[in-house]
Each structure stands twice: as C-alpha cells, then as structure tokens.
Chain A
C-alpha cells in the first residue's frame, strides 16, 4: 500500500480500535509506521477522535426499551419471512437442484417407460439396412403379405407382416445378415411417409435382444440426427420382431400407423 492510500484509509480509522483487525488497516499501519510524521499525525487524529466521540456520547440520550423492542419485533418478522424467501440465494439453489433432480427422475422414468430392451441395437440394425443401395435389393413386384414363400426359399422362416400391411406393394426384397443373424428386408413405396418410401425389417427377436413389449404394440425410436430425422416403428409377436424404418419424425410415423389401423386394407 502506498503512502497516499494509507493516509486516506487511516483518516477513516475508528477511534475505538474496531478496525485493528482489518487487513487493509494493518497494511496502512505498516506504511504509516515508516514515517514519523505520518505516525504523529495519525496519533493526533486518534486523540482528537477519542475526545470528540466522548463529547458526542455524553449528549446522546438513551433509547427507550420500548422503542428498541418495537424495532426488534419488526426485524423478527423480516427474518421469519426471509428464512423461507425464494429470493434467498440458498433457497434458489436448493429449488433449482430439486427441479433438476425431479426432471432427471422424470426423464429416466419416461425413458424407461418409452424404451424397451434392444432399442440401441434396433437403431443400429436400421442404419445398416438403410445404408444398402438399391442394387442390393432383388426387384420384386408383389404384395407384402405374400413374401413368406420368397423368404422361405432364401432360408428365412416365418416372415409375416402385421395386420393391415398385407396389401402394401413391394418393389424390392433382400436377405442380409446383421451380427450373423438373418434379417428380412423389404423396400416399400409409401406415399404417406416423408421420402415416399419405407423399409420393413423382420428377424428373430431373441438373438439380437430386440424385444419390444408388450407384444403387438408399436414402439418408436428416433435414430436420425437434427435436420435428417429418421424414425423406427418396432413391434414383436411370437418371437419375431417387425420394424418399419422411414425418414421423418415420430409424428409422421404415428399418423401413418393410425391411418393403416383405421384402413387396414389401404395401400
């Protein structure tokens, strides 16, 4: 601390020694101690302040106990009110933490409720299947409900689309392997979905662990990215899992499925 700042601060020193423990004042004392002149001026100031304070105290009347009690009561009310005030930073922190915790719990619950075993694997499978080029599909003009024989000839047993999907026109089929498990894939033009097409996938539920529950209930998975949304509708029955993969959002898929359920014979 320089001499000027020390002198400025020392002029604000309280004569009763209340500031002796203050770090800034201790630094100022140290600086003042290096100059006999400054030290003398400071001692003169203390002597003056002590006398002035005594003179002042002698003329100040005592404050009535009743008046002080009234003040205490006012502040007691304030303290009770402030103790639970939402403006209290501590209360705000507690409230915020509670909200985050509750939000986390809700998110976990919703995830568990909306999720099922093998969700991530289903999305991976869909990405693998979607990446196939058109040349990898065998061109085939048929109804989706008649493909069981074609797949059986390829060695895949048990292909069956859910009710309402039998009459969808098919433009291509393929059988590929994912994690060494055979996957039946079908390319289907669907005007009601974004991009005008979708892929059906069917496979044995257990080896890949993709087992949406309860049976015969559609479960949704978003597996695209912002700006390139993709959605997967998954359901299982009798140990076989059926998936519909398409561009779009859950809303798009839900509207499509609702329309199929409402008009199961439609294409």
Chain B
C-alpha cells in the first residue's frame, strides 16, 4: 500500500491530487497545507505512514470537493468494457479538456480515477480513502473511465 513513501513524493502527490480536483495551483497549495495541519493536530502521536497517507488524501479530497458540485452519474447501462478506441479518443483530446472532463466526473469515481492515473494510491488505500468496498470502487472507476471517454469524444476535434 502506498509504496511512494518518500516525503518528497508524498507531498508532490498530495499537490498533484489537489490540483487535478481543483484545477487551481494556489487553491491546491492552500488545501494541502490545511490538510497537513489538520492531520497533525488530530494525530499528535504515532501513526503508521500508510494511515497518514490516507488521512492526508482524505483531507485534501474533503477540502477540494467542499465547493464543487458533484454531478450525478450520467451513464446508465454501463458496458462491461471500454470502447476499442478508448486510448485514441484520449490521445486526440486536448490535455486541458481531459482535465476539465475529469473535473466534471461524479464522485467517488472522479477521485478514484485521479489517484489511479496519478499512481499515488493502491486499491486498498483507495478503498480506505473513499470509504467504499472493492466492488463499488471498481464500478465507480470503470464508470468514470467511460464518462471521461464520452466527454472527450463529444468535443473531439474533427480530423
């Protein structure tokens, strides 16, 4: 769980996660600082590094989503598999569009897919951060991938 245990990686990961959720570097810095302060205040004693990691990511997510409207899942009858052109759709999409599309995904799929793509937390840590089980988490991530593909396909530049 959470193999990236070096402090520098950990703090970088927190900032990257915060930025993707807020799309604002200043806001990301602020909420990371606030989350660290909160975690330090709540747990003055010893805490395993893995629990610290989850705790800090939870704090960042809570703050990042505080003023963000979370859309309801749009997809119904979610297919079991990604479409064959899934990677090409993303490859053709503008990175800012990908970021915006990610930002508009429903929770908890949005947060889960972000930490997965940033490769910062493993499955077990994701479950703990989001407070969901494996099945729900898996379904949410899959639905988030499909929603991201569809969002990027809609505004895909015509070639």
A85 within 8 A of B: yes
Tell me the bound Cα distance from A53 to B15 in angstroms. Answer: 16
Tell me the bound Cα distance from A68 to B126 in angstroms. Answer: 23
Q: Are B118 and A53 in contact, with the CB atoms below 8 A?
A: yes
Tell me the bound Cα distance from A14 to B91 in angstroms. Answer: 18
B102 within 8 A of A: yes
Tell me the bound Cα distance from A18 to B139 in angstroms. Answer: 21
B54 within 8 A of A: no
Chain B 25-48 interface 0/1 with A at a Cβ cutoff of 8 Å (1 = within): 100010011001100100011110
Tell me the bound Cα distance from A49 to B149 in angstroms. Answer: 11
From B11, B117, B139, A63 is in contact (CB under 8 Å) with B11
Tell me the bound Cα distance from A107 to B32 in angstroms. Answer: 53
Q: Are B8 and A72 in contact, with the CB atoms below 8 A?
A: yes
B19 within 8 A of A: yes
Tell me the bound Cα distance from A39 to B134 in angstroms. Answer: 20
Residue among A47, A78, A88, A89 with most chain B CB within 10 A = A78
Stretch at the interface among A5-13, A125-133, A176-184, A216-224: A5-13
Tell me the bound Cα distance from A187 to B87 in angstroms. Answer: 104
Tell me the bound Cα distance from A45 to B142 in angstroms. Answer: 9
Residue ranges of B at the interface with A (Cβ–Cβ < 8 Å): 3, 7-8, 11-12, 14-16, 19-20, 25, 29, 32-33, 36-37, 40, 44-47, 80-82, 84, 86-87, 90-91, 93, 95-96, 98-99, 102, 112, 114, 116-119, 122-123, 126, 134-135, 137-139, 141-142, 145, 148-149
Q: A44-B87, A51-B90 are in contact. List 15 more A-B contacts (CB 8 A).
A: A11-B141, A11-B142, A12-B112, A41-B81, A44-B84, A48-B82, A52-B90, A53-B118, A55-B95, A56-B117, A57-B118, A63-B15, A71-B33, A74-B40, A82-B47
